[in-house]
Structure 1
Amino acid sequence: MNQEQEIDGRIVFKYDTDWKNLLESERFKKELCDDILEPYILSQRWYGGKASALKYIEIIDSFPIEDASDTFYGIVLEVNFREAFVHNYFLPIAFVTDKKIVDDKFIAHLKLNGTSGFLVDALLLESFRKQIFEKILEGEKYRYKEIAYRRGRSNQSKGYKSSRLMGVEQSNTSIIYNDKYMLKIFRRVYVDENPDYEISKYLTAKAIFNNTPKYLGSITLKFSDKNVITLGLMQELVPNEGDAWEYFVHNLKLIFEELSRQQPKLETLRATKYLEQISITDVPASILAWCPIEFFEDVSQLALRTAQMHIALGQERINTAFTPQAFSNDYSVWLKNRLIYQFENRINLVENNLHKLEGLQLELANELLSKKKIIRKQLLDFDETMLKSERLRIHGDYHLGQVLVQDRDFYIIDFEGEPESTIRDRKVKQPPIKDIAGMFRSFNYAIYATVFNNYESYDFELEELFEVADVLYSHIIGVFLKTYINEVQTANLNIGYIKEIEFLLQYCLLEKAVYELGYELNARPRWAIIPLKGISNILNQQHYE
């Protein structure tokens, strides 16, 4: 008998082999995929397939990670779904005999040649974390068949001192080393270089953009002659006070509290003209009375760092992965096919969720449905022959949560790209204005989140707070645009003339709001009002969302 029941009701899997040879056992690999891993990965934060029906799991590659004293294994899993698509995941594994080391965070009970122990995620073990850190420091000297460890030129580390897992994780697992370095282990992996690795390395070694963590090393798996999987990315640890979402939401809460104390006449507050650029000195005194000028200075500083990021990404003339490109028919076809598919999906979601909406939400949802032909036409109205600017490698998933704050300065992180997109789509060169649209939508969310979470404590009706939100948002956008456009045009980055910038910004804002609508209807229908109102105002062009 190969299994036995434990007192706690869990199964113990028994094999007549030792740990070093376990992955040569076909029975182990079959039981690992069929019986062990499915319940385990379903409970992991990094597993991205929770909304889909898992069909089966396969091991598509495995390899030892070892030194003189310890042997671990890396396995690459292919998770197949009933909806006929797959995800690949990386899981390093270890065998320990002392349960205290990992508490209840084990994958399975094993008995190997009569020795009881536990199969665990190797990242929980300091011995594993130390080993991979040291191999990165060894760099090209250490290679095991298809696994390569590389040390970046900026890596000045003298050796291992300590390691710990970073707190709450989402799609990846990050390790802090020596309180100076961070190694991000990618959980969902792709048979291609990860954009985060590619762009981090480029911005550190070639373009020199200082407001992002420096590239310090990597772990890659040569999956085939032409394909490489990025397993790990090491970067400097940027000291910070949290992300820009927390920072701006905190300040917005104080701003709305001050507004509530002062009770200004709302009819005296005016939004800017649509997409108007304004200097900080042009922000009216009627707004600065309750919104401090330091808030707009921060917005301007973030715009400056964003511009510098795009300037760095747009200066390459040799490496074809980063050289700017003109707009083309191929790009337009790719863009329109992608967006129309996404738009039809969102329309279906709205139709299926109308019963969950009420009041202004329902009114805006019905407006969206009544104008779906107009929106579809606007998405299809993308004529590359009219565009003279260039496309670049961009951040691709740019919002306040992707920015760290340190002493009122901003550091941009996480260049993996849009989670819903394929790895190839994430590498398509896009107008840098798409990143700007993502940040503007994020500011819009920050304002509305502040209103939604606190409106009962403000002495205004909800509709009045929406009016203030429109006014404040338009001035944020005006200040950001002024700083950003001045900086990139001074550096001769070709983002087009003002009419082209406005067209692309409006187009990308609509694209982003449509994208957001899917998340909100699925996760928190009450918040669907934010992208719905955004779409409405973009279409009507009366003022900002």
Structure 2
Amino acid sequence: MTEAFTDLLAPYLARQRWFAGGHPRSVRVIASETLDERLEWMIVDADGARYQLLVGFATPGEPPEFLHGHNDALLGAVDGRLAYDGLLDTELAKVVLGRVAPGQEATRVRPMGVEQSNTSLVLDDRLVLKVFRRLQEGTNPDVEVTAALTAVGFTSVAALVGTWTRDGIDLAVVQEYLASGVDGWALALASLRDYYGSEAENPADCGGDFAGEASRLGEVTARLHVSLADAFDTAAADPATWAAGMERQLERVGSESAWAPPARELFAGLREMTSAGRAVRVHGDYHLGQVLRTDLGWYVLDFEGEPARPLVERQAPASPLKDVAGMLRSFHYASAVALHERGEEERHSLRHRGEAWERRNRAALLDGYFSVAGVAELLPPDPRNLDLALRAWELDKAVYEVAYERDHRPDWVEIPELAIHRLLEPEGTETTS
């Protein structure tokens, strides 16, 4: 790559949603390969982090039609050609498909919504090509976990069709596309909008009642954890280490807050627990946006975890309750977001309905979860310890959310703060059934 091309990389990376950080100080190409006369694959080092790029080239002049409205995808003119994100180019995307899943062909290609950390394309409404952007040594958790779950017979994941690996690093994956699927977040919001707009006081009396789906989602979540325990084995629970991580986050986020002392007390209760179940591989970033409802039932998506965290941390075993807590927090967020869509006066009058919806659906999810054979062996056997551990994981998630909202959506920080106060009430929020 010429110096002129390298000079284009830093401003390009700074504009990408999947780039973690602001404008990089230093960018250099550390590996590259020509995949097509118009497509260059490369790995760049940006301030010590590695990212994967697929750069397309076109003759200079008017940008191709597919680049209209995608100014952030342009690198610029260099060496007599126009450089851009090659995954926006249908013909070049097909070249990448052939590298990841040899023998697979496609006619139609479209982007799969906006992603924070990767780039995914839908091909012929039959396949999904996911290109990992930020790279780390070792197997990508999304590839690793999906393959392992398939091997032990867990069918609620999209089937792997092909993977692209280079020097031990997973670069991309092709999976089946779940064409009939609707994500859990959209379904929950539809249920809440129906409930908020109805005359029913009880969410069970509303036509869009979500409880049946929540129960089935709980069952799939439990089967996921039992299958993960089978695929990756289990270890002795380590509540002291889990509590220490929660306490460190608390000190970073809310050490001076009024809720810090009772939060420390709750985490101390987890630390002192002598029978906390088992530690297993978990999803790690589990919420309504990571599950898809299809004609065949619920499917679980995206096992990559939080890409900003080191790979070894994302692969570390934890309590299955970490995932359960994440989904329960997502239910609370859904009720609050749907409420925010209403006018201020209406929000006040409907607040009790949001709480009723959340109570009903968290109870349904937990009922479904605890009904699955084998999951009890992974959890604290004492109901009081089970309740305490789940509240601790929920509280930890809510503290994380406070930090996120402060940085990105200050007007929403009241959502996780409300959850924190509920979880720390003397009698505690009813968490288990």
- TM-score normalised by L of structure 2: 0.89
Superposed CA offset, 1:97-154 (max 9, x none): 255434554312122xxxx21122222333432223223344xxxxxxxxxxxxxxxx
Q: Which residue of 1 aligns with 2:35?
A: 66
1:367-426: CA deviation from partner (whole Å, max 9, x where unpaired): xx2231231233244337612511111111000011112248321101111345322111
- Establish whether residue 256 from structure 1 lines up as the match of residue 196 from structure 2: yes
Instruction: Tell me if the contact between 2:191 and 2:208 (Cα under 8 Å) persists in the aligned partners.
Output: no
Show the 5 A alignment for 1:316-331: 316=231, 322-328=232-238
Decide which of 48, 55, 61 is 2:20's aligned counterpart: 48
Counterpart residue type for residue 46 of structure 2: V
The yes-or-no answer on 1:230 pairing with 2:138 is no
**Residue 396 of structure 1 aligns with which residue?**
284
Q: Which amino acid counterpart does residue 75 of structure 2 have in structure 1?
A: I
From 414, 421, 431, the counterpart of 2:319 = 431
Percent identity reads 27
Structure 1 residues 134 and 418: alpha-carbon distance in aligned structure 2, compared to 1, 3 A threshold: closer
Matched, 1:129 2:93: yes
Task: Check 1:384–1:200 CA distance in 2 against 1; reply closer, same or farther (3 A cut).
Answer: farther
Number of the residue aligned with 1:373: 261
CA distance in 2, matches of 1:380, 1:388: 13
Matched residue, 1:8: none
> Retained in 2: the 8 A contact 1:537–1:544?
no
* CA displacement at 1:236 relative to structure 2: 0.5
What's the C-alpha RMSD, in Å, of the aligned pairs? Answer: 2.6
In the TM superposition, what whole-angstrom CA distance separates every residue of 1:303-361 from its partner, at most 9, and x where no partner exists? 11112211211113xxxxx1111124xx733x34432332122127xx7xxxxxxxxxx
Q: Is the 8 A contact 2:136 2:169 kept in 1?
A: yes
Question: How does 1:152-301 map onto structure 2 within 5 Å?
Answer: 159-204=105-150, 206-222=151-167, 228-258=168-198, 261=199, 287-289=203-205, 291-292=206-207, 294-301=209-216
Distance 1:57 1:488, change over 3 A: farther
Instruction: Select between 206-215 and 292-301 the one with higher mean Cα deviation.
Output: 292-301
1:348-387 equivalence runs, <5 A: 369-383=257-271, 386-387=274-275
Is 1:483 the counterpart of 2:368? The answer is yes
Q: Choose from 41, 45, 54 the match for 1:92.
A: 54
Task: Show the counterpart of 2:77.
Answer: 109
Tell me: CA distance 1:340–1:383, structure 2 relative to 1, closer, same or farther (3 Å).
closer
Corresponding letter in the other structure for 1:496: P
Question: Any conservation in 1 of the 2:184–2:288 contact (CA below 8 Å)?
Answer: yes
Residue 337 and residue 294 in structure 1: after superposition, are their counterparts in 2 closer, same or farther (change >3 A)?
closer
C-alpha contact (below 8 Å) 1:474/1:543 kept by paired residues: no
Count residues in correspondence: 423
- Higher Cα radius of gyration: 1
Whole-angstrom CA distance in 2 between matches of 1:239 and 1:398:
21
Q: Which residue in the other structure is 1:342 paired with?
A: 249
Query: In 2, distance between residues paired with 1:32 and 1:376?
Result: 52
SS in 2 for 1:130: helix
SS of alignment partner, residue 248 of structure 2: helix
Q: Secondary structure at the match of 2:157?
A: coil
CA shift for structure 1 position 530: 1.1
For 1:536, which of 387, 411, 421 is the aligned residue?
421
- Residue range with higher mean Cα deviation, 175-184 or 384-393: 384-393
Gaps of 5+ in 1: 1-22, 81-85, 139-156, 223-227, 265-285, 317-321, 352-368
Q: 1:173: how far off?
A: 0.8
Note closer, same or farther for the CA distance 1:465–1:492 as it changes in structure 2 (3 Å cut): closer
Change over 3 Å in CA distance of 1:380–1:302 after alignment to 2: same
Q: 1:160 to 1:377 in 2, by over 3 A?
A: same
Alignment CA distance shift 1:447-1:377 (3 Å): same
Instruction: Give the deviation of 1:160 after TM superposition.
Output: 4.1
Residue aligning to 1:502: 387
CA shift at 1:211, angstroms?
1.6
Aligned equivalents of 1:305 and 1:118: distance in 2?
48
Distance 1:158 1:76 in 2: 25
Partner amino acid for 2:401? E
> Are the aligned partners of 2:158 and 2:178 in contact in 1 as well (CA < 8 Å)?
yes
SS in 2 for 1:77: strand
Q: Deviations over 1:481-502 (max 9, x none)?
A: 111111144x664323233321
Q: What TM-score, normalized by structure 1, do the two folds share? A: 0.72
Matched position secondary structure for 2:77: strand
Paired residue type of 1:63: S
Separation of aligned partners in 2, 1:167 and 1:479: 30
Deviation of the 1:249 alpha carbon: 0.7
Contact 2:194 2:207 in 1 (8 A): no
